[in-house]
């Protein structure tokens, strides 16, 4: 992303030296010397205080860096199998389900903590391209980075006690705030506004700041080709800057606004507001299918990409195989690690053995992030409708994503 306005140096005024008593001999009564001291002493005090503040700031920064180096990036968690969850899962000491796959469940597992997430993502631009199932994983990730803890939604409370839900559940379950299943355009406008405000707000944290943009609009009635949702999040951390991007892709179509990155500065004030970026209030600088969008990624300074072609054929269960497009792109841009991200299983298909994803069966050999296999036989309560998952699954999706970017074995 463009960073041309990240630091705006203040204008400085030149100092004009004029003929004064400083250039004249001191008088015998010492009056000129007293005037000179009155001028010099405040300046000396000013420079002394400035130097002291600079020294303290450097010491504080060094202390913070030392503390960060000492803090662990990976947590080792006790985890045991439980008959309430599938055999590919275990429960950690806090009662949180953890996906372990087909490996034999050990008495302990390793997971990146918040510090580990930040260090892994620092100085990278990670781009997500896909439908709402990709969007909510993206929103879950940026919510975690901001809060430093994972949200807990009603999948943690099967009795649906709303008083126990985190407010951030709104980021992955838009109906949570409104209590309706079919949101109107005004509700979507509020969702865009509130979610952008939440993900761009900063908690009381001196070493991290997060900023959020949303090139967003949804009409009534819904029409995928006139619906826009492209999100850009910039996070400053002690390890470096994190850039995360979500590009909406419902039906193999991505559109990008000229007033948003990469065509405009992240810090520009001249752009439509979240929920107001309709066709009458925007100029698209890019319109293209998923394959064309891949070739735009260098302009976003992308380092890692997780891409899906969108819905695919009804009922949106099977992932469209665009592996050869990815392979062709990566052969020209080997510095951009590109992954095919599979759809999660539908809630109605979690026990259907005929619906699955196998990266070995793709037409071309590429890297992939398999979310479908993780959904096999999970409780239906971990979904909030037939398509979309709640906090437990999105948490494990994002653990798998981070471990894909930064394998834990290489960190130990």
Over the stretch 48-91, which tens digit does the pLDDT of each residue have? Answer: 777 766 666 565 556 555 555 557 999 999 999 888 899 999 99
Residues 6+ apart with CB under 8 A from 164: 152, 156, 157
pLDDT of 375 > 80? The answer is yes
Does any domain span residue 18?
no
State whether 101 and 186 are in the same domain.
Answer: no
340 belongs to a structural domain:
yes
Per-residue pLDDT at 16: 39
State how many domains the chain has.
2
Per-residue pLDDT at 230: 98
Here the contacts of 165-168 (C-beta below 8 Å, separation 24 or greater) are 166/391, 168/143, 168/198
Give the model's confidence band at 44: pLDDT under 50 very low, under 70 low, under 90 confident, else very high: confident
Q: Which domain holds residue 158?
A: 114-404
Q: Looking at the structure, tell me whether residues 92 and 180 fall in a common domain.
A: no
Enumerate long-range contacts of 102-109, CB under 8 Å, 24 or more apart.
Answer: 105/79, 105/80, 105/81, 106/79, 107/78, 107/79, 107/80, 108/76, 108/77, 108/78, 108/79, 109/76, 109/77, 109/79
Residues 215 and 80 reside in one and the same domain: no
The residue among 49, 82, 111 that closes a domain is 111
120 and 254 belong to one structural domain: yes
Contact, 166 vs 176, CB < 8 A? no
pLDDT in tens, 327-369: 999 999 999 999 999 999 999 999 998 888 999 999 999 999 9
- Do 315 and 356 lie in one domain? The reply is yes
Would 171 be classed as within a structural domain? yes
User: For residue 13, what pLDDT is reported?
Assistant: 40
pLDDT at 18: 40
User: Among 18-22, 160-164, 217-221, 402-406, where is mean pLDDT lowest?
Assistant: 18-22
pLDDT digits over 180-220, tens only?
555 555 689 999 999 999 999 776 555 679 999 999 999 98
Q: How far apart are CA 3 and CA 112, in angstroms?
A: 28
266 with 319, same domain?
Answer: yes
pLDDT of the residue at 254: 97
User: Of 172-181, 217-226, 377-386, 396-405, which range is least confident?
Assistant: 172-181
Q: Are residues 260 and 377 in the same domain?
A: yes
Whether 29 maps to a domain, the answer reads no
- Does residue 245 belong to any structural domain of this protein? yes
Residue 107 has pLDDT above 90, yes or no: no
241 and 330 assigned to the same domain: yes
The reply to whether 356 and 208 lie within a common domain is yes
Same domain for 311 and 369, yes or no, is: yes
DSSP label at residue 310: B
Predicted confidence band of residue 144 (pLDDT cuts 50, 70, 90): very high
Torsion, Cα 81 82 87 93, to 10 degrees, reads: -50
| Percent of the chain scoring above 70 in pLDDT | 77
pLDDT over threshold 90, residue 290? yes
Claim to verify: residue 319 and residue 363 sit in the same structural domain: yes
Task: Note the pLDDT of residue 76.
Answer: 94
What is the model's pLDDT at position 21?
40
| pLDDT surpassing 90 at residue 135 | yes
Instruction: Verify that 89 and 118 share a domain, yes or no.
Output: no
Domain boundary among 63, 90, 111: 111
Asked if residue 348 is part of any domain, the answer here is yes
Last residue of a domain, one of 111, 140, 173: 111
């Amino acid at each position: 992303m463009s960073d041309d306005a990240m630091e705006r140096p203040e204008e400085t005024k030149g100092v004009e030296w004029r003929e004064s008593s400083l250039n004249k001999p001191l008088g015998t009564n010492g009056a000129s010397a007293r005037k000179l001291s009155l001028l010099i002493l405040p300046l000396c005090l000013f420079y002394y205080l400035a130097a002291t503040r600079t020294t303290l700031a450097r010491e504080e920064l060094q202390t913070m860096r030392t503390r960060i180096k000492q803090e662990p990036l990976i947590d080792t968690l006790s985890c045991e199998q439980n008959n309430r969850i599938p055999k590919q899962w275990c429960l950690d000491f806090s009662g949180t389900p953890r996906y372990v796959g087909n490996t034999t469940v050990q008495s302990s597992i390793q997971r990146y903590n918040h510090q580990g997430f930040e260090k892994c993502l620092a100085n990278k631009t990670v781009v997500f391209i896909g439908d709402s199932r990709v969007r909510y994983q993206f929103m879950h990730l940026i919510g975690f980075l901001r809060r430093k803890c994972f949200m807990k939604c009603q999948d943690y409370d099967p009795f649906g006690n709303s008083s126990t839900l985190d407010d951030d559940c709104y980021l992955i379950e838009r109906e949570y705030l409104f209590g309706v299943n079919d949101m109107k355009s005004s509700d979507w406008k509020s969702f865009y506004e509130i979610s952008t405000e939440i993900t761009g707000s900063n908690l009381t944290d001196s070493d991290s700041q997060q900023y959020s943009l949303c090139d967003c609009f949804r009409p009534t009635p819904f029409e995928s080709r006139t619906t826009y949702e492209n999100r850009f999040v910039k996070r400053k951390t002690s390890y470096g800057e994190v850039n995360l991007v979500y590009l909406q892709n419902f039906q193999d179509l991505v559109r990008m606004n000229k007033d948003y990155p990469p065509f405009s500065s992240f810090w520009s004030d001249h752009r439509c507001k979240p929920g107001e970026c309709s066709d009458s209030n925007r100029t698209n600088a890019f319109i293209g299918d998923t394959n064309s969008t891949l070739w735009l990624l260098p302009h976003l300074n992308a380092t890692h990409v997780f891409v899906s072609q969108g819905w695919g054929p009804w009922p949106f269960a099977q992932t469209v195989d665009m592996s050869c497009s990815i392979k062709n792109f990566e052969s020209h841009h080997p510095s951009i690690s590109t992954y095919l991200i599979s759809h999660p299983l539908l809630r109605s298909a979690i026990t259907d053995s005929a619906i699955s994803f196998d990266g070995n069966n793709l037409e071309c050999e590429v890297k992939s992030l398999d979310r479908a296999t993780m959904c096999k036989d999970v409780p239906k309560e971990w979904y909030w409708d037939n398509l979309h998952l709640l906090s437990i699954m999105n948490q494990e999706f994002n653990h798998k994503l981070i471990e894909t970017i930064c394998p834990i074995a290489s960190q130990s």
